């Protein structure tokens, strides 16, 4: 299948590109290195350096014998994006090309403006390019469980039937997020849902929880194929950060009471879910929504697990409950449905002590490169 990946240099984008290339798909990737630039500017580079996208693609060719075609440019640049659609005529496009950090989106006005402008213009351009050049193309868009927030009712899988005054209709499940980043993901859903109804686009929205891990079949083939791995409070996801903190002897940074509960998944399951979506596309005029996570944990439960495994490996792990820098409920009801992807055949990886130990092993190899000043600076919102 001809697959175009927007944001193909990212934490998930690059492993996705290799996974699909390995399975024999014809893969092109687009990236403008926005994430790399933002990390450099904010002094929060990852645990180790990763080769740029052109070098990654060359290395992948050398190791696997397979080609991935890279395009360096901005999905907000419509002439650039539409030329690639016109030439390549993708059958599916995976949309990772968004500013993905909630804390970044809350830093200052410039960061907020960049987040909203980048995330909505890239999605708008995607809808227009598909409509103009490949109207049957399946759009697989990464949403986030954070769009739902923490409502007091069960979270359904994207849609909700509402009975009201004796009549009934079906609506997008109500969304109310806890950061500007997550709000832009609600807004890009609004946008795609509009064009799905108007132009009969075929869209799958993967409402993903926080991802952890740095090992996939392809990244493990060679040190130069690793994905990037942030451990700072802006771009690092919580479990990845905790493992680095444990190795560095830095107290695990639990925000407030630590009762915040979310649905998590291993990066290997992200790849599996995106592939399941690819192989069973949405129909024209359908916005199909899956809740993409495997297990729910509170932040305290994550801290407990990291502590246990870290101590067993000889680290002196401590936990610190910090004054919460975020505006969020620290204890709340949380009961999200997530049956759709299992019904498509997902075999989840669970967060076992063994999986955690494997994460520790990689981080321990880079222990000397951890910069404690990058871990926590207390950005508030």
Active site residues: 144, 181, 185
Nearer to a second copy, 333 or 353 (CB): 333
- Least Å from the CB of residue 133 to a second copy: 12
The C-alpha angle 85, 88, 93, rounded to 5 degrees, equals: 60
- Least Å from the CB of residue 154 to a second copy: 5
Task: For residues 67 and 64, give the distance between their C-alpha atoms in angstroms, rounded to a whole number.
Answer: 8
Whether residue 80 contacts residue 73, with contact meaning beta carbons closer than 8 Å, is answered with yes
- Least Å from the CB of residue 238 to a second copy: 20
Binding residues (CB under 8 A) for a second copy: these are 78, 109, 112-113, 116-117, 120-121, 124-125, 128, 151-154, 156, 160, 162-165, 167-169, 171-172, 174-177, 179-180, 183, 186-187, 190-191, 193-194, 197-198, 327, 333, 381
- Least Å from the CB of residue 24 to a second copy: 34
Task: For residues 29 and 241, give the distance between their C-alpha atoms in angstroms, rounded to a whole number.
Answer: 28
Nearer to a second copy, 113 or 220 (CB): 113
Sequential DSSP letters for 297-356: EEHHHHHHHHHHHHHHTT----EEEEPPSS-S-SS----B---HHHHTT--PPP--HHHH
Nearer to a second copy, 177 or 359 (CB): 177
Element (H, E) at 165: none
Nearer to a second copy, 13 or 100 (CB): 100
Q: How many CB atoms lie within 10 A of CB 147?
A: 25
Element (H, E) at 287: strand 287-292
Nearer to a second copy, 184 or 292 (CB): 184
Task: For residues 310 and 304, give the distance between their C-alpha atoms in angstroms, rounded to a whole number.
Answer: 10
In the sheet that holds 211-212, the strands lie side by side as 211-212, 261-266, 295-298
Q: How many CB atoms lie within 10 A of CB 285?
A: 13
- Name the residue among 187, 152, 146, 182 with its Cα closest to residue 292: 146
Nearer to a second copy, 179 or 230 (CB): 179
- Least Å from the CB of residue 157 to a second copy: 13
Whether residue 150 contacts residue 68, with contact meaning beta carbons closer than 8 Å, is answered with no
- Least Å from the CB of residue 132 to a second copy: 8
């Amino acid at each position: 299948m001809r697959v175009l990946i927007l944001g193909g240099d990212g934490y998930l984008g690059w492993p996705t590109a290799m996974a699909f290339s390995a399975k024999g798909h014809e893969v092109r990737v687009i990236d403008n290195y926005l994430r790399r630039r933002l990390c450099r500017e904010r002094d929060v580079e990852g645990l180790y350096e990763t080769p740029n996208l052109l070098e990654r693609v060359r290395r992948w060719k050398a190791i696997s014998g397979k080609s991935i075609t890279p395009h360096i440019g901005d999905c907000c640049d419509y002439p650039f994006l539409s030329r690639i659609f016109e030439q390549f005529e993708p059958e599916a496009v995976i949309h990772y090309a968004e500013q993905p950090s909630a804390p970044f989106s809350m830093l200052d006005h410039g960061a907020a403006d960049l987040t909203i402008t980048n995330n909505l213009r890239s999605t708008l351009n995607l809808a227009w390019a598909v409509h103009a050049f490949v109207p049957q193309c399946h759009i697989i868009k990464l949403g986030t469980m954070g769009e739902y927030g923490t409502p007091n009712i069960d979270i359904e899988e994207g849609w909700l039937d509402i009975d009201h005054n004796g009549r009934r209709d079906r609506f997008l499940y109500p969304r109310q997020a806890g950061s500007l980043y997550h709000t832009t993901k609600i807004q890009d859903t609004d946008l795609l849902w509009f064009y799905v109804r108007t132009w009969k686009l075929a869209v799958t929205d993967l409402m993903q929880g926080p991802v952890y891990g740095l090992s996939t079949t392809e990244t493990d083939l060679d040190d130069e194929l690793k994905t990037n791995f942030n451990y700072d409070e802006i771009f690092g996801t919580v479990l990845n950060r905790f493992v680095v903190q444990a190795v560095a002897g830095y107290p695990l940074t639990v925000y407030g009471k630590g009762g915040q509960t979310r649905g998590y998944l291993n990066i290997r399951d992200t790849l599996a879910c995106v592939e399941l979506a690819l192989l069973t596309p949405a129909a024209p005029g359908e916005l199909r929504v899956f809740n993409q996570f495997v297990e729910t944990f509170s932040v305290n439960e994550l801290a407990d697990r990291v502590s246990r495994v870290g101590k067993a490996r000889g680290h002196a792990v401590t936990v610190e409950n910090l004054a919460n820098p975020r505006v969020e409920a620290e204890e709340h009801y949380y009961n999200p449905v997530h049956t759709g992807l299992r019904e498509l055949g997902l075999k989840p990886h669970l967060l076992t002590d063994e999986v955690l130990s494997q994460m520790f092993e990689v981080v321990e190899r880079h222990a000397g490169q951890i910069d404690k000043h990058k871990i926590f600076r207390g950005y508030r919102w």
